[in-house]
Structure 1
Amino acid sequence: MNERLNRPKRFGEILDLTFSLSKKHFKIFFFISLIFMGPVYLIEALIKLVSGVNFFREVSVGGAWYENIAASFEVEETTSLGADLGVVLLGFVSLFIFPVATAATLFVVDHLRKNETYTVGSVVKKAFARYGAIIGSTLLFTLMVTGLILLPIMFIAIVFVLGIATLPVVGIIVGVLLFLAFAIVIGYLLTRWSFYFGSAVLGEGTPGFTRSWRLTRTQGWKLVGLYIIFFLLISIVSSAFELTFGLFLGNSVLLSMILSLVNIVTTLIFAVGFAVMYFDLKVRHDAEDLKELIDEYAVVQS
C-alpha cells in the first residue's frame, strides 16, 4: 500500500502529496474531469458563439496602449435572454454531473493507497453506482449551505440598517464584526460537514454528515486552513490566466474555452486534495478506534 497515503500527515505534507499525485497521475485525473466537465463547457461555448460573441476578438488598434487593454475587458451586450437562460441551465445541470468526476477521482486515490489496479472505466462505473447517494447528499449539503449563508446575511442586513439609522459609525463597526464572526463560524461548520462526500462515495454512511463531523473532530481548523490555501491557489491561477489571455482575446469564446480548461485542471487538483484530506482523516479515525479497542481489551483482561 502507498505509505504516504496510509499514515497521518501534517499540513504541508497534505499539500505536497496533493500536488505530487496530481502531477504523477495527471493524465488519468484530467481525462476523468474532461469526460464530465468538457461537454458542459463545450455547450456553453457554443451557446455564446450562437448568441453573437466573437470566437476570437482582437484588441482594437490605435490609441494609447492602456486604452486598448481597458477595451479588451469591456463586456459586449450581445447575448440574448435565451443564451443567458441556457448558461444558467447548464450551471444547474453541472450540479448533477460534476460530483461524479470528483467521486471517480476519489476512487482512483483509494486504489492508489491500496496499490490496486484500476481503469478509468472501472472508477467511473463505481462512481455511477453511488450516484443516488452522491447527488442526494450533495443536494442536502447545498440546502444547508444556502440556509447558513442567507439567514445570517438577512440578520446582518437588519442590524446594519438599524445601526446606520441610529449611530452610523457604530452600525458599520457592528455590521463588519458580525459579518466576520458569522463567516468564521459558517466556514468552520461547513468544513466539519463537507467530508460527507467521501462517506457517501465510499458507502461509509449516507448522507454522511454525522461521520464527517466525527472524522474532523480534532482537525477542524487545520482543514479550514487547507481549504483556504486551495481556494487562494485556484483563484490566483484562474485570475492570472484570465488577465493574461484577456489582454489579447478580450471577451471572446476562445477566452472562455481557455478558462474552462484551466478550471478543469484546478478542479481536479482540488478533488485530489479533498481525497488526500479524507483518507488522512480516515487513517487518523481508524487508528483512534483501534486504540480505543485495545484500551477496552486491556481493561477487560485486567
Structure 2
Amino acid sequence: MQNTSLRPMGIGRILDRSFQLYRKHFVTLTLIMLILYGPFYLLEQLLTYQETAITSTSILDQIRSGKSLQDMFETGSYFQNNPSVQDENYIGRMLLLVLVLLPIMLLGLFPTSVASVVHLVKASLFGEEIPSVGQLLRKSFRRFWPLAGSTFLDGLIMVGLYIGLAIIIVIFALIFVVGGKFSNAFGNFGGGAVALTVVFFILLTLGVLFGFCYFFLRWSYYLPFVALGEESIGIGRSWKLTRKSFWRLFGMYLVLSLILYLFLAVIQLIIAAVFGMGLWSQLLQSLVSIVVMSLWYLPYAVSFFDLKVRNEGLGLEGLMEQTMANPALDNSEELEPFDPFDDPKPIDLDKKNE
C-alpha cells in the first residue's frame, strides 16, 4: 500500500480516471465481461430473435434498391412484425428468459462483474499488482452468495419503494377524480382547474422519480462493501457512505449516461444501416454493449473509494504510519495529497542523500 494521503476527486476527475483505467486495462475488463455476459447475450438473442422481411439486407441496401421509408415501415415489415403471432413458442421462450436467464444475470452475473471491477480498481488504488482475469473472477466468486443475497435484498427494497410511490400517485389520482366529479356536480370544472391538475401531476411524477433516484443512489453502494468482505449486506453502510453526496453522484451518472447512451445509439444505428437487422447484426450490437459495459462499472468503483476518502478517512492511516516511521517529517513539511490513479514519480535517491 502506498503510504500517502488520498484526496477527494470531483465529477470530472472521477470520470477521467475511469476512462484512463478503461484504456489501461481494456483487455482484462473486456475478457471479464465477455466471460460473464457473453453466453447470456447469446442466449437472449437466440430466444428473442425473429426473422422478418428486411433482416436479410441492410437498410442501405434497401435504400439503394429504391425502397422508401414507407415500404420499410409498412405492415409485415420488421418494425411492425408481431413475433407472438408468427411463433407459437414465443411465450415459452419469453418465460424462460424472464424466469431463468434474467434472475441469473441480475443476482449472479451483475454483482460478480461489479465485484471484479472493484477488486481491479482497489489494486490500482493501492499500487498493488493487478490480478489476472482468473484471479479477479475467483475473488468475486468467493463472495458469490453474500453478493447475490445482498443484491436480492436491495432489489426487494427498491421494488417495495417503487410500489409505494406508485400507490401514492394512484391515491392522488383517485382524489382528483372524485373531486372533479363533485366539482362537475355543483359547478363548472373550468380549464384553469384542468391545467392546474396537469401541472400538479407532472410535478408529482417528477417528485416520485426524484425520490426513487435518491433512495436508489443512497443504497446502491452496498456491493463494494460485500465484495471486499467488509459487510455481509452493506446497505446500511452505503446509506452512511453517500451522506451529503447525492447531487454529486447524480450529476456524475447523468453525465455518464448521456455520453454512453449517445455513443451506443450512434454505433447501433451504424450497425443497423450497414448490416441490417438480422441475427448477426443483433449479436454485433450485443458485443459492442459488452465491450462498453465496464465503463458503467468503473465510475461506480472509483466513486466508492472517493466516498471512502471523504467520509471514512481512507488513506489517513497510511499517512500516520508514514509520519511515525519518519519522525523527521514534522508539521512544518506539508505533504501534498496523492491522487491514487496518478503514476507515482520516481525518487532520485542520490539527490535525496545530498
Q: TM-score, normalised by structure 2?
A: 0.74
CA distance 1:179–1:204, change in 2 (3 Å): same
Q: Find the partner of 2:258 among 228, 232, 236.
A: 232
Residue 38 (structure 1) aligns with = 38
1:238-277 pair list within 5 angstroms:
238-277=264-303
For 1:169 and 1:87, the matched residues in 2 are separated by 43
1:42-191 pair list within 5 angstroms:
42-48=42-48, 52=51, 57-58=56-57, 59=59, 60=62, 62-67=65-70, 70=73, 74-78=79-83, 79=87, 80-88=90-98, 89-95=100-106, 96-117=108-129, 118-163=131-176, 166=180, 167-191=193-217
Greater CA drift, 202-211 or 273-282: 202-211
Q: Which secondary structure state, in structure 1, belongs to the residue aligned with residue 56 of structure 2?
A: coil
Residue 27 (structure 2) aligns with = 27
Root-mean-square deviation over aligned CA pairs: 2.9
Residue 16 (structure 2) aligns with = 16
Structure 1 counterpart of 2:294, one-letter code? L
Q: Post-superposition shift, 1:5?
A: 11
For structure 1, the 5+ residue unaligned runs are: 295-302
For 1:195 and 1:177, the matched residues in 2 are separated by 28
Q: Which secondary structure state, in structure 2, belongs to the residue aligned with residue 283 of structure 1?
A: helix
Residue 299 (structure 1) aligns with = none
For structure 2, the 5+ residue unaligned runs are: 181-192, 321-354
Q: Which secondary structure state, in structure 2, belongs to the residue aligned with residue 74 of structure 1?
A: helix
Q: TM-score, normalised by structure 1?
A: 0.85
Q: Post-superposition shift, 1:18?
A: 0.7
Structure 2 counterpart of 1:169, one-letter code? A
CA distance 1:171–1:41, change in 2 (3 Å): same
Q: Residue deviations 1:81-109, cap 9 Å, x none?
A: 22222332322221122221111111111
For 1:205 and 1:64, the matched residues in 2 are separated by 60
| Contact 1:197–1:208, Cα closer than 8 Å, also in 2 | yes
Q: Residue deviations 1:26-50, cap 9 Å, x none?
A: 111111111100011112233345x
| Contact 2:54–2:277, Cα closer than 8 Å, also in 1 | no
Structure 1 counterpart of 2:298, one-letter code? V
| Contact 1:5–1:113, Cα closer than 8 Å, also in 2 | no
Q: Which secondary structure state, in structure 1, belongs to the residue aligned with residue 9 of structure 2?
A: coil
Structure 1 counterpart of 2:288, one-letter code? V
CA distance 1:4–1:290, change in 2 (3 Å): closer
CA distance 1:21–1:5, change in 2 (3 Å): farther
Q: Post-superposition shift, 1:116?
A: 1.6
Q: Which secondary structure state, in structure 1, belongs to the residue aligned with residue 232 of structure 2?
A: coil
For 2:157 and 2:52, the matched residues in 1 are separated by 37
Higher helix share: 1
Greater CA drift, 89-98 or 9-18: 89-98
For 1:33 and 1:64, the matched residues in 2 are separated by 39
Structure 1 counterpart of 2:246, one-letter code? G
| Contact 1:215–1:281, Cα closer than 8 Å, also in 2 | yes
Deviation >6 Å, runs of 4+: 2-5
Q: Post-superposition shift, 1:251?
A: 3.5
Greater CA drift, 220-229 or 253-262: 253-262
For 2:4 and 2:54, the matched residues in 1 are separated by 45
Q: Which secondary structure state, in structure 1, belongs to the residue aligned with residue 210 of structure 2?
A: helix
For 2:66 and 2:237, the matched residues in 1 are separated by 61
Q: Residue deviations 1:128-150, cap 9 Å, x none?
A: 11111111111111111112222
CA distance 1:5–1:85, change in 2 (3 Å): farther
For 1:4 and 1:273, the matched residues in 2 are separated by 22
For 2:177 and 2:32, the matched residues in 1 are separated by 51
| Contact 1:148–1:186, Cα closer than 8 Å, also in 2 | yes
For 2:285 and 2:4, the matched residues in 1 are separated by 33
Residue 300 (structure 1) aligns with = none
Q: Quick one: percent identity of the two aligned structures?
A: 30
Q: Residue deviations 1:245-275, cap 9 Å, x none?
A: 2234444222321221222133211111111
For 1:153 and 1:208, the matched residues in 2 are separated by 27
Q: Which secondary structure state, in structure 1, belongs to the residue aligned with residue 79 of structure 2?
A: coil
